[in-house]
Homo-oligomer: A and B are copies of this chain.
Amino acid sequence: MPEVHLIRRERFNAAHKLWRPEWSKEKNYEVFGKCANENWHGHNYQLFITVKGEPDPLTGMVMDLKLLKQIILDRVIEELDHKNIDMDVPWMEGKMSSAENIAIAIWERLDAAIKSHGAVLHQVRLYETENNIIDYFGT
């Protein structure tokens, strides 16, 4: 059977800032620009999760889409939506909340759960804005 990729879009709206506490305010603004605003800003993040596998001969599906959606909701969206990524999310503690780091952390939240259902996580695509996008393919 041929390998097929299945992509599911989900969304979350969250606050964050880019700020290193050991740096001065000047240094933070120089490096992070307006993303360093101390009182946070926020985004409507869009997430595209790609899993791959061979379609089941009976269902024609790489993975039960209802199940994939539920895994993403339970392990990612529920944790990030209408949250402050820097204050409310245990698995982002101690990490800069750059889109790069959020995408890597989302991969780690999803990889094993998807594997346990017989598919393979292939790609995490994260839109921070319509102009700034991250792709992560694992290590």
Residues of A bordering B, CB below 8 Å: 2-11, 13-16, 18, 20, 31-35, 37, 39-44, 48, 50, 55, 58-62, 64-66, 81-84, 87-88, 95-101, 103-104, 129-139
Q: Contacts of A50 on B, CB cut-off 8 Å?
A: 135
Q: Contact check, B134 vs A82: say whether CB atoms are below 8 A apart.
A: no
Q: Contact check, B4 vs A138: say whether CB atoms are below 8 A apart.
A: no
Is chain A's interface secondary structure helix, strand, loop, or mixed overall? mixed
Q: Contacts of A13 on B, CB cut-off 8 Å?
A: 41-43, 129
Q: Contact check, B55 vs A131: say whether CB atoms are below 8 A apart.
A: no
Please pick, from B8, B66, B100, B131, the residue contacting A9 in the complex, using a CB distance under 8 A.
B131
